Homo-oligomer: A and B are copies of this chain.
Amino acid sequence: MIGTPASGTPISYTPEEIAALKWNADGLLPAIVQEGATGQVLMFAWMNEEALRRTLEEGRSVFWSRSRQELWRKGDTSGDRQWVSEVAYDCDGDVVLLVVDQEGDGACHTGERSCFFRTFGSGAEPGPR
Contacts and interface: CB of A to CB of B under 8 A. Distances in A.
Interface of A: 10-15, 17, 30, 32, 34, 38-41, 43-44, 56-57, 86-92, 95, 97, 108-110, 112, 115-121, 124-129
Given A14-B125, A88-B117, A120-B13, A34 B30 contact: no
Contact of A90 (B10, B44, B95, B127): B44
A91 B117 contact: yes
Contacts of A39: 34, 38-40
A48 B124 CA distance: 23
Q: Which of A13, A30, A110 has the most CB of B within 10 A?
A: A13
Contacts of A10: 129
**Top 4 A-B pairs, shortest CB-CB distance:** A39-B39, A12-B121, A13-B127, A12-B127
A32 B110 CA distance: 21
A121 B116 CA distance: 29
20 contacts: A11-B120, A11-B121, A12-B127, A13-B127, A14-B121, A14-B125, A15-B128, A17-B120, A17-B121, A32-B32, A32-B41, A34-B41, A39-B39, A43-B90, A56-B127, A86-B119, A88-B119, A91-B108, A91-B109, A91-B117
